[in-house]
Structure 1
Amino acid sequence: MCYSAQIRQDYRKYVKAYGADISIRDFVRLYWERKASAQIKIPKAMDAAFANPQSEDEREIRALIDEFNTQQATKLEQELFKQTKRRADAERTLQTKTTKKAQEDLRISTDKIEWAKGIAAPT
Structure 2
Amino acid sequence: MARHIWQEYKDIINEYRYEDKGKAIYKRRKETVERSFADGKELHGHRYARFRGLAKVQMQCLLSAACQNMKKIALRIWERSNGPCGPGFSRSQTTLSRLFSHLWRICSAPKSAVPA
TM bucket, shorter chain: 0.3 to 0.5
Larger relative contact order, structure 1 or 2 (CA cutoff 8 Å, min sep 6) = 1
* TM-score, normalised relative to structure 1: 0.31
* TM-score, normalised relative to structure 2: 0.32
